[in-house]
Amino acid sequence: MKVILVEDVKSLGKKGDIVNVSDGYARNMLFPKKLGLEATSKNINDLKLQRAHEDKVAKEQLDAAQAFKAELETKEVTVSIKVGENGRTFGSISTKELAEAAKEQLGYDIDKKKMQLSSPIKELGTTKVPIRLHPKVTAELKVVVKEA
């Protein structure tokens, strides 16, 4: 029996796959647990329409992320930090502080978890912080660190 998987099923396939399974496995395991649908022409057509819609939504999200990247890379965020003798800084600037500064100065609500800062910023000057906006789009935010 041909079955369209509604969920990922271990050792069988991923969501949306059309697989061939025994009648008993389909009736006793997949259908009662809502893991699959019978592969009728209507269900196959619905699957095609759903995939087309998901592709369209994914393309729109990618385009929006690329547009936001272009806008974000023209901006900069200024953050201040206490500095002692010999230009030595007290503490560091983390992604949480960068996200707050971006919201306050630019009005962008950027998730701190999407900022890919390898280590906290501990020196004065300009730093580019990579921000993952989409799996295929990474923007760089210019961060200027000044003395408080």
* Residues 141 and 74 placed together within one structural domain of the fold: yes
Q: How many CB atoms lie within 10 A of CB 70?
A: 10
Q: How confident is the model at residue 33 (pLDDT cuts 50, 70, 90)?
A: very high
Q: What is the pLDDT of residue 30?
A: 94
**Residues sharing a CB contact under 8 Å with residue 99, sequence separation 6 or more, in sequence order:** 110, 111, 112, 115
The per-residue pLDDT for range 11-27, each reduced to its tens digit, is: 899 999 999 999 999 99
CATH of the domain at 19: 3.40.5.10
Residues 42 and 107 in one domain: no
**Are residues 136 and 83 both part of a single domain?**
yes
Residues near 143 by Cβ (< 8 Å), separated by ≥ 6?
76, 77, 78, 79, 93, 98, 121, 126, 127, 128, 129
So what's the pLDDT on residue 85? 81
Are 118 and 92 in a shared domain? yes
Q: What confidence score (pLDDT) does residue 1 get?
A: 93
**Is the domain of 30 the same as that of 9?**
yes
Q: What percent of the chain has pLDDT over 70?
A: 100
pLDDT in tens, 97-125: 999 999 999 999 999 999 998 888 888 88
Is there a single domain that holds both residue 51 and residue 74?
no
Domain span at residue 80 reads 69-147
List of residues 6+ apart from 119 with CB closer than 8 A? none
Q: State the pLDDT at residue 126.
A: 92
Query: Is 37 found in the same domain as 105?
Result: no
Residues 132 and 85 in one domain: yes
- Of 64, 83, 108, which residue constitutes the final position of a domain? 64
The number of distinct structural domains making up the chain is 2
